[in-house]
Structure 1
Amino acid sequence: MEGASNNFTATAHNILYANPTHTTLGNMSYDLNALSPSDFESLSADLVGREIGERFEEFGDGPDGGIDGRHVSGSQTIVLQSKHYARSGYSALKAELRKERAKIDRLDPDRYVLTTSVSLTPARKTELAGIIGPASKEAGDIIGADELQGLLRANPDIVEAHPRLWETSGAVLKTVLDKTLDEREARNQAPTVLRDLLPKTIRAPEDEVIAERDVVFLIGSRPNDDEFILWLGPKLESHGYTVFSELLTLEPGTRWRKEVNLALQHRGAKVLVTASDSSSRDDHVLDLIDKAIEVGQSITDSKYVIPLRVENSIRLDGLRDAVPVDFVRGWAEGLEKLLVALKRDRVPCNSEAASVTPQWDIFRKRGAIPIVNEPEQLISNWLRIVEMPDHIHYYEASGVIREDTIKRQVKRLTYEAKEHGRGLFTFADPHDIEESFESVAKFVLKESIRIDDFVEHGAPVAQMKPREASNLMTFFIRNAWERHCAERGMISYDFSGATGFHVSSDQASNGQKVRWGQQGDGRRSSMLRNIANKHVWKYGVSAIPRLWPFWHIRLKARVLFAEDNGTAEGKPINDAKKMHRLRRSGCKGWRNKQWHGRLLAFLELISAGSAFIRVRLAPGHDMLLSSEPIMFTSPVSTKLPDVLDADGEEEDESTLGRSLTESDEP
């Protein structure tokens, strides 16, 4: 492909041998075994993408068809496949590639790159290239563990972006700490990100120097507007704009006021100001606005300063006649309007070379909560799957039958089944299948497989690979959970990428507190639905099954809103954007204790107070979930104040509305 490097072998050789101290991390070795398969795929995409100068698409869980990463340019395609086989070894890697040869041939990519955590020799590369076939154009496109180590040493920023590589390494942690201390020692100079905005010939404000006006200045009150600026700045950079905010100096206050004014005077293309209550009372922000207005007048740009309305009814001194870009209705909607305005005013933009300044993420990390060297027990949102049926069955139709006939009948079933070719997979016994398909077709049991063998090895008789089998198992688990929630009377709502199930008024009334927790004094309560700000809100969850590191379901909290029309459920809202805005604003005041309490109250409700949740997979065959989330112990804890009592988090009327009193509760 044009512009892409075609020789990984030479590149890796230069990294490994020609310059072993390429970076401060150059002498280190990283434990690839600490990575999960998905972590290894993401790391491979970053490293290979960096080497060839292209960005790889990455995909979520599900059948990948032999593609872990992909880059498409015109009619040419690069396919990246990552095999994390450090524990399994070279023999297992070869066996897996032989199984995938047919997929590789069907893909027929212009270039096929394989990364593996297995150590490779020249002979092994040659052997693997023969197994891969014509798609492997050269041995340099097969990258083993040793070459990956070299690429990691050459790209310390990628190492820092993958914490699992360095969180177990004292040497890397020391390097990160030393880097932070070096930054602290350099604070007597203006930060590099600010100095780089000025041509080197500029020495004082009176110097007349012509510099390109290509920087968008983002101004807001510190620290109240930091969250919005941290969101907007990287978004603008990802669209190709050069952005400056005082956040990027990694310094608090107005220490670099003179330098900022100088940069704005010579480099400012537009000035964006957050129109918030805190900005309207911040003298530093108002001074910058005055300076920006002067610059706008000097270059005859009447729209040089653009207010960004992040709060209603806020006007900034000096900008009362300026038309703001509205972010109140939604940040994404506001960004879309802002991009149109910047394009209309021809603000310099280079979308082809867009990059996000790392200081945004560094600043975010520096504002993190301090770590305390004390263990802490944490409650997760994971529910362990404690029991499953022993076997899954594959049935095949005998005689002539249309596949669409099987699909239609499967949809009518009240238990889990999935068609596959001329047959179907299910947990149901033969007599239940015979009864369910009596008027449609006759099915013969072809294979009964232990579910752990099914997930690990697939189903040879049905020609199903292990990954397909794993995806099918998670499909059954998710579908059974959703069927169970629907049968319990939950309200379903399709969010982006998942279906949430919410507590209905038949299960809990508006404002009612649902008790959860231990008996006696340890008993607590939380609301799962109520009326606040003229809307009915309903708590719920969506389920994400996972089979690694053990079988479990992860519950993601969801909140559904409806307009308050005097009924218990309210009037449904069909506008997805409005629903998104309500979730951002209506739950903004909820803290961790509230989210945690609502999850446990939801589990108390759906389990009817039992220690387990029994979910039907087929007649007589159930999945058993623990109704208590999995506990984890962290070796360290955070220094967070906890001054509220057990139910203190349930007293925020602005988001929760008015709850029932104890005497009102049933």
Structure 2
Amino acid sequence: MKDQIFISHATPEDNDFTIWLASRLEMRGYQVWIDKNGLLGGERFWQTIQTAIYSSRKVLLVYSKNIVRDGIFKKGIEDELEYAKSLVGIKNDTEFVIPLHIDDSAYNLVIGLPNINHIPFVGNWAKGLVQLFKKLDKDGVTYSTDIESSLSNWYETSYSTDSSIVLKKELYYTSWWSVKSIPQKFYMYQFLNKEQATYIRQANINIPIAQLANTLSSFDDRLSYLIDKEGQSFDVHPQSVYSFSLEQILYGFNSDSFPTHKDVVNHFKDFLRYLISEIIRNKGYRKTELSNKKYVFYRPIYKKKPIPIHFKYKYSSKNKRKSLGGRYKDKGFWHYGISIQPIVHPFIGASIKSHLIFTQDGVNIIDNDSTQHSYRRNKGKTFFNEQWRDMLIALLFSLQDNNEEIKLSVSQSNDMLEMKNWTETFWSEYGYYDPCSTMSEDDIVDLIDEDKTE
């Protein structure tokens, strides 16, 4: 049976921290009591609060400048603290109340609390949480690993409906990854049959070429038609060679026979998929196929130790770093991965979808769809938009060359396809606060390491 933890805090000033803290305590398996009516600005019922404190194993006091007003202890928090202190003897626990110091307020705001050890959360909530976990473990506060977060459901259905959208300017990152520059001519080589097209593609192995049936796609207008077969060399010429401008691909043209505009767009998008995949593969990413036939690229973890990737936000000079994987309990390793869907509107590039992939040893996929699905659902609960955004940006930065460019040579003339360093972004006058994500202790330790700036 798990022990209950009571959280006392100033409403509404410290609501965000309290909800963040409560969600993470629940994720670890503690039963948490917070005054949900108070969070919503409703009436507080002292008898209910008193019963909750009496039934709790620990009382956490969110200690900040907000617990006093004009130098006087706020009535509600004072009542909770005084009642909790009166139970110290009954509980046989001199540290029944644990102050959590979340700002730079003085330690003598409240009489008696300077003599109680405060756990510091100032500057880094994650570090404070790890220290709190250690304290709770030391004091024998029990928890269950099999718990459904009632707080998360309440937050999404009640609290977040009033506080999720706020008036603030924010930069949003889309999932559209656009080309920065691309050759202006696209070529299609139609052969008599698929076998001929395959031989010619193999004869031009140093040039990026995509193949659909008997047709090859390329940005190069000088393919070699010489092939070697069974000790003989001979030329195999295409039946037709077509060239199209980027403008024709984007805005259309009239044709009643192959290739129609739709045919050209399909071949162009297939070629674009191949080129972007080559950019990713060239940086050491591995590919795995999902049950829906989509391919996902993920970064292997060698020697069982993930290497963080350095990246920057757009319009920022501050260096950050993020790992794209790590240990997953005792089951193996998790990896952030992406699948790509080529697009020509509203931008030429790819629409990116994020995935979580699981391996046995950091490299080899766990070959069981139901296991992958179960792990994905469980691990995915630890991530909200901020984490997904940072992993995507970090992955794109890992594709850069020494000149901080994402490029691929696409022809014998060294024409280049260059992708942008960030996905498309836009500014909004409105923002929001992420729901408080459920997160394990291991994830919190990972974030401490990953989110350091240089």
TM-score (structure 2 length as normaliser): 0.54
- Kept after mapping to 2: 8 A contact 1:393/1:445: no
- Cα separation, 2, equivalents of 1:525 and 1:652: 20
Q: Does 1:384 align with 2:178?
A: yes
Give the alignment of 1:265-664 within 5 angstroms.
367=161, 370-397=164-191, 401=192, 403-409=193-199, 412=202, 414=205, 415-419=208-212, 424-430=216-222, 432-435=223-226, 439=234, 441-443=236-238, 446-457=241-252, 460=255, 463-495=258-290, 496-505=292-301, 510-517=305-312, 522-534=318-330, 535-564=332-361, 569=362, 572-608=365-401, 610-619=403-412, 620-638=414-432, 653-655=441-443
Aligned residues: CA RMSD: 4.1
- Kept after mapping to 1: 8 A contact 2:300/2:363: no
Query: What stretches of structure 1 of length at least 5 have no aligned partner?
Result: 1-223, 225-310, 315-326, 328-362, 643-648
Q: Secondary structure at the match of 1:548?
A: coil
- Kept after mapping to 1: 8 A contact 2:217/2:271: no
Shift of 1:571: 5.0
Change (3 A) 1:509 1:517: farther
Q: Secondary structure at the match of 2:427?
A: strand
Q: Secondary structure at the match of 2:284?
A: coil
1:654 is matched by which residue type in structure 2? Answer: D
Change (3 A) 1:499 1:446: closer
1:463 is matched by which residue type in structure 2? Answer: F
Change (3 A) 1:516 1:609: farther
Q: Secondary structure at the match of 1:593?
A: helix
Q: Secondary structure at the match of 2:177?
A: strand
Shift of 1:462: 6.2
Residue identity over aligned pairs, in percent, reads 16
Change (3 A) 1:629 1:396: closer
Change (3 A) 1:500 1:396: closer
Change (3 A) 1:365 1:655: closer
Higher relative contact order (CA 8 A, sep 6+): 2
1:110-141 Cα shifts (integer Å, max 9, x gaps): xxxxxxxxxxxxxxxxxxxxxxxxxxxxxxxx
2:424 is matched by which residue type in structure 1? Answer: I
Q: Matched residue pairs, number? A: 291
- Cα separation, 2, equivalents of 1:563 and 1:420: 36
Change (3 A) 1:526 1:368: farther
Shift of 1:538: 1.8
- Kept after mapping to 2: 8 A contact 1:455/1:467: no
Change (3 A) 1:364 1:580: farther
1:266-294 Cα shifts (integer Å, max 9, x gaps): xxxxxxxxxxxxxxxxxxxxxxxxxxxxx
Shift of 1:618: 3.9
- Cα separation, 1, equivalents of 2:382 and 2:259: 48
- Cα separation, 1, equivalents of 2:227 and 2:256: 23
- Higher strand proportion, which one? 2
Shift of 1:614: 0.9
- Kept after mapping to 1: 8 A contact 2:186/2:245: yes
- Cα separation, 1, equivalents of 2:254 and 2:410: 19
Shift of 1:407: 4.2
Change (3 A) 1:631 1:590: same
Q: Secondary structure at the match of 1:636?
A: strand
Q: Secondary structure at the match of 1:470?
A: helix
Shift of 1:600: 1.6
Give the alignment of 1:241-280 within 5 angstroms.
none
Shift of 1:638: 2.5
- Cα separation, 1, equivalents of 2:275 and 2:158: 40
Change (3 A) 1:517 1:584: same
2:385 is matched by which residue type in structure 1? Answer: N
Q: Secondary structure at the match of 1:577?
A: helix
Moved more, 372-381 or 529-538: 372-381
1:34-88 Cα shifts (integer Å, max 9, x gaps): xxxxxxxxxxxxxxxxxxxxxxxxxxxxxxxxxxxxxxxxxxxxxxxxxxxxxxx
Give the alignment of 1:6-21 within 5 angstroms.
none
Query: What stretches of structure 2 of length at least 5 have no aligned partner?
Result: 1-22, 24-143, 149-156
1:576 is matched by which residue type in structure 2? Answer: D
Change (3 A) 1:462 1:418: farther
Shift of 1:601: 1.5
- Cα separation, 1, equivalents of 2:239 and 2:194: 18
- Higher helix proportion, which one? 1
- Kept after mapping to 1: 8 A contact 2:210/2:270: no
- Cα separation, 1, equivalents of 2:196 and 2:445: 50
Shift of 1:493: 0.9
Q: Secondary structure at the match of 1:442?
A: coil
- Cα separation, 1, equivalents of 2:381 and 2:282: 31
Change (3 A) 1:544 1:577: same
Which residue does the alignment assign to 2:35? none
1:368-392 Cα shifts (integer Å, max 9, x gaps): 8543344432122322212111111
Q: Secondary structure at the match of 1:433?
A: coil
Q: Secondary structure at the match of 2:408?
A: strand
